[in-house]
Structure formats: structure tokens, C-alpha cells
Amino acid sequence: MKTDIDIALEAKMEPIKNVAEKLGIGEDEIDLYGKYKAKLTDDLWNRIKDRPDGKLILVTAINPTPAGEGKTTTTVGLGQAMEKIGKKAVIALREPSLGPCFGLKGGAAGGGYAQVVPMDELNLHFTGDFHAITSANNLLAAMLDNHIQQGNALGIDPKQIVWKRCVDMNDRVLRNITVGLGRKADGVTREDHFIITVASEIMAILCLAENRKDLKERLGRIIVAYTEKGEPVTAKQLNAVGAMAALLKDAIRPNLIQALEHTPALVHGGPFANIAHGCNSIRATKTALKLADYTITEAGFGADLGAEKFMDIKCRIAGLKPDAVVLVATVRALKYNGGVPKEELGKENLDALKRGIVNLEKHMENIALYDVPCIVTLNRFTTDTEAELSFVKDFCEEHGCEFALSKVWEKGGEGGIELAKKVVETIETKESHFHCLYEDSLSIKEKIETIAKEIYGADRVAFEPAAENQIARIESLGFQTMPVCMAKNQYSLSDDKSLLGRPKNFTIHIREVYVSAGAGFVVAITGTIMTMPGLPKVPAAEGIDVDDDGRITGLF
């Protein structure tokens, strides 16, 4: 059986200018990054910005398991299938982080015959957006420490510095470090921290900014530290905004690539959904909506994280209204939620399926909270039995949810025709009455409790004393109207990753709360979630190589 990268490297790609032409984009409206990648120009947006929007479809999933769900694969396959049934579609995805590529999860280009290409370049350096974000983040950190070293005119308290350095790599030893060791000229000695680039506020800002003017305003609002009197110090006060914006000048422009069947794909921005807001850029999504009749986008991890943040953060800030949600599951993953070990998932087990399908049920209920039509799709595996498939189909339909099988991993767009037709039919017959889960006027604690109880199914929320104090300060500074971005493990509806299925009678633990004033949301850290992941015992990096001809192997 061919690997994902084998399939990707054998693909016959169209020159990206030809893919752009399918969308009515001229050669002078793209800047080429080689033959198969391009960035869209500002002139393109100015030309199309007044067009009516197409339909917006969000692809989300149940909680991820080692069995795999295939959310990005479904997103890409659905885009290809839309074209098979004569619909003009654009795929809108996030860019992959190097951390998972070299760690445990792997890349984020889809899989099988439902991938975006060039897969190897996308998963590695792509067009340099993450480098620009990392550089802007660390420039601000350098200017902050330099300000303190050069006399500290703003009166920054070194023990109240909240801005962290970043790197796009899983490197646990950088979580907590000491900087400024050595001579007096080497800086002020203090504790410092690293986060992974996809958790940086700069990443969130890039994905939420409407244009360069908005980008600079958001960068200026970043809070980097507090004074001895507890007053916030911003990037604007450090005179860092212009240089940061210069580093991000091209990174803010969406990237255009293609699926294996040449469906256009805008891939831009890449915040994680477990520790950040989990959605691609507003610019890319809005551009896609102007270029096609159907935009298919995805949000990271399960619907408890990615979809919730897509609805309550991205849609709220951007004024977007999804027309339908595709909820991805597999029989294997549902059986895993029902207690079946990974090595036994290929065997028919209806009892386990009945126990595990409650995870899907909760996500279906969550989508219903937003009043958006929902279609459940099963990524079909060869080990799935007709009895298992029928059980899931009947369950969905009994709960008032549309259902379609998907074989896009195996057959590409052809394997997604049933799903594509179901999505189009649903959009044409069921109206979306989208609304956010909570109002801006609620307090920060009320917003956290609403998400924890309504989306996760928690009984209560426990706030650690430090979090209580942080919330009080954030509200005193006037940030209480912002939406909340929950940082939670992705494997469970709870903050305990071992609690599979649909946990009951549990508490969500909030240990830290801080404001991302530039991004425009408040972050709540739950349980033991880390903003700098570590590598597993055997990282994927050990299996990645490049031959003498430059052909990369081992990416997945």
C-alpha cells in the first residue's frame, strides 16, 4: 500500500497559475513561490471584495483517537467531490506546524487520495509564514529585554513579564528557562519561557486580522508585561509594531496550492486548537467565499475545541455565518471510545460501538446549540462491517442528523460524491440560523462555565486562586467583553484525557487565565495542558530522510 507521501510525490500537479485561472485569478494577482505555490495579492482582494459570499461549510470531528478520524482528509476530499458534481469549490485549511510533523501526529495535508500538494513542501517550510511569525514574536521579546537592560523607562517589573519566546518545534526543555546569565552586559537575569509558534499570539493575530492596518493595531495592543503598579505594558509602548509588521508583510497574504485533483486550496495560518483558536485565517476564508460557490474549511481536533472556537471566536470576530457543519467520525474511533484496544479495532463489535457512539452524540448536540445544519460522515475503513455502518447511520437519522459515507482516502473526489450531494441538499433544504453560544456581556467566569457545561458536559468549574486573581485583573483592565479561548486536552470532552466516550459528573479545572489583547480573546488554561509540547519516545523525525535526488521520505 502506498504511503501518503508516495501518493503526493507521484501526483501530476498543475502549474499554480492554471489553478488560479480556474477561479478567475489573473497572473498579475498572484506572486509565485516556485511553480506550484503562490501568494495572493492585495489587488485580488480589492477586486473581489464586493462580490456576494458563497456557502461556508465547516468540517469538524469527534474527539481524536489513535484510530484516526480523517478531518482534513474529509475536507480535501469533499472539495474534490464538489467539483465532481459540478460545483465550484475552494478548500480553506491551516498550515501544518513542524512540531507534529517531527513528533507524533504527523503532517496536516490530508491523506490517501484526498491531499493537498506539494505535501512535502507544505509540511516543512512552505512559504515561510511560520518563520515570519516566529521572528516577529522573538523580535518583540528581544526588544522587551533590551528595554529593561537600557534603563527600563517604562518601569517594567521583571517578575511580571508575560510575553514568551517561541519556536515551531516540540522542545520541552525550553518550557521554563533562565535568561540573562553571565555579565551585566548580557542582560537582566530572569525566568523565561518558550511556547510553540502555533500558540503564539502573533499567530492568532495574523489569522484574525482583516488587513495590514488591522494587523498593526492588533500588534500594538499586545500586552508584554506589567509595571510595579500593575499597569499593562504593550508592544506599541516598546515601539516594536512597525518592525513586527514589516516581518509579517507577506505572511498576512493567503497561500494558494491545489488538491491532488487540482481543486484550489487556500492554506493560511495554523493555530493549534487545543492551545490556541484552531482556525485558518479570516483573510483566506473571506477570499475563498468570494471566489467560489462553496468554501470547505476545517477547525482543529474535535468539535469541543475547533468547532466551538470557530463559532465563538472566528465567526464572532469576522462576522461569518456557517451554512452547514460536517461532523467526521469512524467506526474504529467510536469503538475505541467504547473501550476497545487499538489492536482489536478491526473486529466487529456492536456492543463497543453502542458504548462509544455517545461521543458522537454529544458533538451532534453541540452543533445543534449553534442552530447550524449538521451532516455526520463516516470515513469508511475496509474492516467496517455493514452491521456497524448501518448502526451509525440509523443512530444519526434517529437523532435528526443527516448522514453520508465517505471513501475519499481510498478514492479521492469520487469517494466523496455521496457526501457532497448530501451537503448540497442539506444547505438547499435546511436554513442555518447561526448564533454564538454566549453573549459578549457575560463575565469571563460565566463564559468559561458556559463552554465547560454546555459544550464539554461538565458539572462544575474549579478556578485555582491564581486564575481567580488573573480574571479579576483582566476584568479591571476592561477586557471582560472578549470571547474565551479554552486550552484543553483534545482527547476527551473533559480535561482528563483518559476519560473517553461521554464523561459524566466531572469538573473542569482552570489553572491560569490571561488576555491576548491583540488577538481579542481571553485564554483559559485547563488541567495539565502545555503550550510547549514535547517529543514522544520515538519521534516521527527518526523516520524522515531525503535521498541524493532531494526526494523526501517518511513524512505522513
CA 407 vs. chain centroid, Å, equals 24
Residues 6+ apart with CB under 8 A from 151: none
Question: Whole-angstrom Cα distance, residue 352 to residue 335?
Answer: 5
| Element of type H or E holding 111 | strand 110-111
- 85, amino acid identity: I
Catalytic residue list contains 132: no
Alpha-carbon torsion 541, 547, 548, 551, what sign?
A: negative
Catalytic-labelled residue, pool 60, 65, 72, 73: 73
Active site residue 301: yes
The catalytically annotated residue of 37, 71, 286, 445 is 71
301, 395, 403, 521: the active-site residue: 301
**Euclidean distance between CA atoms 46 and 518, whole angstroms:** 25
User: Among the options 37, 94, 332, 362, which is catalytic?
Assistant: 94
Q: CA 555 to CA 159: how far, in whole Å?
A: 42
Place of cell 503564539: 200
Torsion of CA 448, 450, 455, 461, to 10 degrees: 60
Residue 463 annotated as catalytic? no
List Cβ neighbours of 191 (8 Å cut-off, separation of 6 or more). Answer: 176, 177, 178
Please check whether residue 360 is in contact with residue 501, taking contact to mean a CB–CB distance below 8 angstroms: no
409 catalytically annotated: yes
Cα–Cα dist 194/303, whole Å: 28
Buried b (16+ CB within 10 A) or exposed e, 36-45: bbbbbbeebb
354 is catalytic: no
Which of 17, 22, 47, 105 is labelled catalytic? 105
Catalytic residue among 102, 381, 479, 506: 381
Q: Is 183 a catalytic residue?
A: no
Half-sphere exposure for 143 (CA within 13 Å, toward CB)? 20
Active site residue 194: no
**Cell numbers placing 368:** 445543534
Active-site residue, from 409, 463, 479, 521: 409
> Strand 324-329 vs strand 55-61: parallel, antiparallel, or unpaired?
parallel
Nearby residues of 498 by Cβ (< 8 Å), 6 or more positions away = 492
Q: Which of 273, 284, 324, 540 is catalytic?
A: 273
CA distance 493 to 485: 15
* Cβ atoms of residues 555 and 120 within 8 Å: yes
**Catalytic status, residue 273:** yes
Cα-based distances in Å from 215 to 69, 190, 230, 251? 34, 30, 26, 11
* 21 φ/ψ sector (left φ>0, alpha ψ -120 to 50, else beta): alpha
- For residue 515, the cross-strand partners are 522
The residues assigned a catalytic role are 71, 73, 94, 105, 273, 301, 381, 409
